[in-house]
Structure 1
């Protein structure tokens, strides 16, 4: 897909109905030959809309007016291009813990959590957040510390056993090509810039989850998911159940590396939880029935077996029978 078509598709398929600001900006970029030429000078993975818009916001550029955005971006292209080359789209959505929690709580306790593609590690604290699960026709199911500053709500349908308590986590570690440090104002500013302008709830949740992480920083290691995962997994305490997990990560990994990762993680002790877009990883037990109504679902699996469809930001969970 050429760059102009990429931005037009982003405007129509991803931003529309979610972010009027980004819908307008993406169309403006698609119709600006000068900006398209600048973007085409970057490696293809660095041309993505979220990365460009996040970089401009991180540098203090305007996003509310498309004409001002186009002028500012062209005038400051050296800074924008340097930021785009140095950074990645690492949206660290703590709300995904709401779909991970039912699986984590049913594994043998205590747990040693190892997240692949951890970003700043905000999904390594499922025991520190407060959850509200909403089922049609049933009372809300509440679990987690009531005093937690992070409050997560997840709608539930289908066969999903909900836990009565959060898991006991005794070790938490993350692996990332470019781990972020929430104690670093620049890294936290980058995470904030990646939240779309209208998503005020996500921004507040990011701020609250960062406070949790700063109080008890996780072990974050820079490394590759194939070469460096076994060594980090070996550092987990042997008395705990190792859980390797990832969410919205493998779509950015070449298919050959995904196959190698599957072999690597399957050879580790403990358990493996994957929460990825449908089709990114072929489930070991075959493809489940399509999700109801909403096609923008992730497939949640445990040790290669599909267990549920999940909202991409942890907002919903639909259990699979059988």
Structure 2
């Protein structure tokens, strides 16, 4: 491995530990920072294809194979001994963090759309975020707690989100009449092994304990009413999929933490597709996006300087930033974009 490559991988793991795992998953922070300084493990990571080096996948594969949940200096010998098994699991699996709690951050913009809504999620995984109208949400606001429930009544799936403005709490739920997803590797929500892997992808730590139970409850909702999720590349399939939506519905194409898996040219291609999608299919289309800073330069340019974006997506409506949404739906902040 070249020195430059080792430094690149080390910098990625250091950033993962300090910027993403810090304050939310102490164990993953420790593992990431340990690997960033471990030349032998960095050499082994360099031998993997680039997508298989990502910390989320390596750590989840290690846990799947039985890695002890111990500090890095204690788990390191186990990692080296079982490295081939970790690599094999990583090769067979992918990172698909299907976090239903993100729907707490989708409901504010969706509630602003009048009339029937056709949801088209790219990077849908098991489709757990295709059911925002089926989940209850406990919003914490500056004036106190606000609970919202679906029109059919309280749900077995209860999301939790802190909003910085009472006005963000949806006054009504969207009228969802169609649900469709696109994914390179769709997940069957009724497959126990697939849901076990999704649960295994949830980071360890007290901030995440509730996520596993919520994921399994949301999977039961999706399994009872399976959404149509087609296998394919979002750039190749989004136009035809949108054109198949009911004619009287507003089409909402949405995604969370998906475009980071494309290179800069791929992100540009998808953004250009979305900018012209409504005209090409002669329909009303709304593009909602939850992606990290650094995904598209024209969006970055509209984020006020100095805005704290750690653990947050920049939420956009037709490429215009409207909020910061926590990566797992825990917070929703509109004030950075309020005049």
Q: Taking structure 2 as the reference length, what is the TM-score of the superposition?
A: 0.86
Aligned-partner Cα distance in 2 for 1:271–1:153:
25
Distance 2:166 2:210 in 1: 28
CA pair 71-96 structure 1, distance change in 2 beyond 3 A = same
Instruction: Provide the residue aligned with 1:147 in structure 2.
Output: 154
State the 1:172 CA deviation: 0.8
Change (3 A) 1:20 1:309: closer
User: Do 2:20 and 2:311's aligned partners in 1 also have CA atoms closer than 8 Å?
Assistant: no
Question: In the aligned structure 1, how far is the partner of 2:93 from the partner of 2:133?
Answer: 29
Deviations 1:161-180 (CA, angstroms, capped at 9, x unpaired): 43222112121111111122
Question: Given the alignment of the two structures, is residue 315 of structure 1 paired with residue 322 of structure 2, yes or no?
Answer: no
Runs of 4+ deviating beyond 6 Å: none
Secondary structure of the structure 1 residue equivalent to 2:103 = helix
Which whole-Å deviations, capped at 9, do the CAs of 1:33-53 have from their partners, x for residues lacking one? 433222111012311221111
Indicate how the Cα distance of structure 1 residues 286 and 149 shifts in structure 2: closer, same or farther if over 3 A, else same: same
Structure 2 vs 1, CA of residues 308 and 9 (structure 1 numbering), >3 Å: closer, same or farther?
A: closer
Deviation track 1:169-207 (CA, whole Å, cap 9, x = no partner) reads: 121111111122221222112111111122211111111
* Partner residue, 2:258: 249
Unaligned runs of 5+ in 2: 1-6, 278-282
Q: 1:159 to 1:253 in 2, by over 3 A?
A: farther
User: Any unmatched runs of 5+ in structure 1?
Assistant: none
Give the helix-richer structure, 1 or 2: 2
> Structure 2 residue aligned with 1:118, among 101, 124, 138?
124
- The structure-2 alpha-carbon separation of the partners of 1:74 and 1:123, relative to structure 1 and needing over 3 Å to count, comes to same
Superposed CA deviations along residues 286-313 of structure 1, whole A, max 9, x for unmatched, are 5142576565432211122222222222
How far apart are residue 216 of structure 1 and its match? 0.7
Report the Cα distance in structure 1 between the residues aligned to 2:20 and 2:232, rounded to whole angstroms: 30
Alpha-carbon displacement from aligned partner over 1:60-111 (angstroms, at most 9, x marks no partner):
3323353563333333333221221232221111111111111112213211
Task: Tell me how many residue pairs correspond in the alignment.
Answer: 322
Name the Cα RMSD after superposition: 2.4
Q: Which residue of 1 aligns with 2:4?
A: none
